[in-house]
Structure 1
């Protein structure tokens, strides 16, 4: 279900994607709160953020857009130019944009963390 919600070919806004993901994940976490799954929640959080970075990279279709957005995120010009002109796919580039789009970026966008919800419930 998370793969379906974070499918990079679905044309929905990032805000809508995050709200649907939050609704699903918080319900899922409520169901599995009795399990001891702290490490799993942490890894799953990382994977979800990478999927979202992949979707965002796919939305920035053109090199010019990627360059503009990376500069706006504070990436140095030389690194932004190399990343924007890269021929690697969206999944590979989602690993490279980890520093430009940290956890705090996604928290500001409204993404809820599974780990924090798990610790809150336990």
Structure 2
């Protein structure tokens, strides 16, 4: 992951509602969640949620699929793995292979 992409992801997550949305989608796993269910779960208005989902999508942390009149959202775990890899690339005294098991644990089938 490039530095600018990392900054975009970190910036998107540096907001309490967007962080809550992303964590909720991580918990939802591969089935994702419909926008209305996210709004209900977090107790937010649809237009406020929509704006925050747009920011998360622009940072490539979230993807969406249309299901009829609804939109289902999914956490982009590949982007999160890339962000964590970028943050940890110089870890372990310059031996990033030592951190690989941590990143591999995150590589779930999400």
- Give the shorter-chain TM-score range: under 0.3
- Using the size of structure 2 for normalisation, the TM-score is 0.27
The structure, 1 or 2, with the larger RCO (C-alpha pairs under 8 Å, 6+ apart) is 1
More strand by share: 2
